[in-house]
Amino acid sequence: MGYAARMDEFGRPAWIALTVLGFILYWPLGLAVLLFSAWSRRMGYWHHNDRWQERAERWRDHVRDHAERKAARCGGRHQSRNSSGNRAFDEYRQETLKRLEEEQGEFMQFLDRLRMAKDKAEFDEFLNDRRRRASEGPESHPPG
């Protein structure tokens, strides 16, 4: 039976005592014992990793269930705020948000048309300038 197995019989307090004793006698020895106990997971801390993973998975499931319930309650649409408790206000808010979304879409279309008109005007100006230079001929421009 090896030293590590014999220390495992005493558990974590034995590993802690050995680490402290190692640091007292010769600090590199204490550091070596500490690194070995952490690397080999002898201290027992690392065995709780599964418990943290289970908690994280439960939390993810909880959040997903909450989002699904909220989506079902809202008719599949995501709302940015919870219900106020007043149906008339909630309907008014929904209508207002819908109207604002439509206005935003119309405004974005207007901006696209405006950009297109500006681009077209710039392109037409470029073509007119090019035609004017071509009609003037190369003799008007000194070589250079």
| Residues 66-121 pLDDT 10s | 888 877 776 655 444 567 888 899 999 999 999 999 999 999 999 999 999 999 99
pLDDT confidence of 143, banded at 50, 70, 90?
low
3-state secondary structure of 36: helix
pLDDT confidence of 139, banded at 50, 70, 90?
low
pLDDT at 83: 78
Question: 21 CB contacts (<8 Å, ≥6 apart)?
Answer: 30
Residue 27 pLDDT greater than 80, yes or no: yes
What is this structure's pTM? Answer: 0.34
Q: How far apart are CA 131 and CA 124, in angstroms?
A: 10
pLDDT at 44: 59
pLDDT at 125: 94
pLDDT confidence of 144, banded at 50, 70, 90?
low
The mean predicted confidence, pLDDT, of the chain is: 80
Cβ atoms of residues 15 and 43 within 8 Å: yes
| 51-80 average pLDDT score | 73
Residue 131 pLDDT greater than 80, yes or no: yes
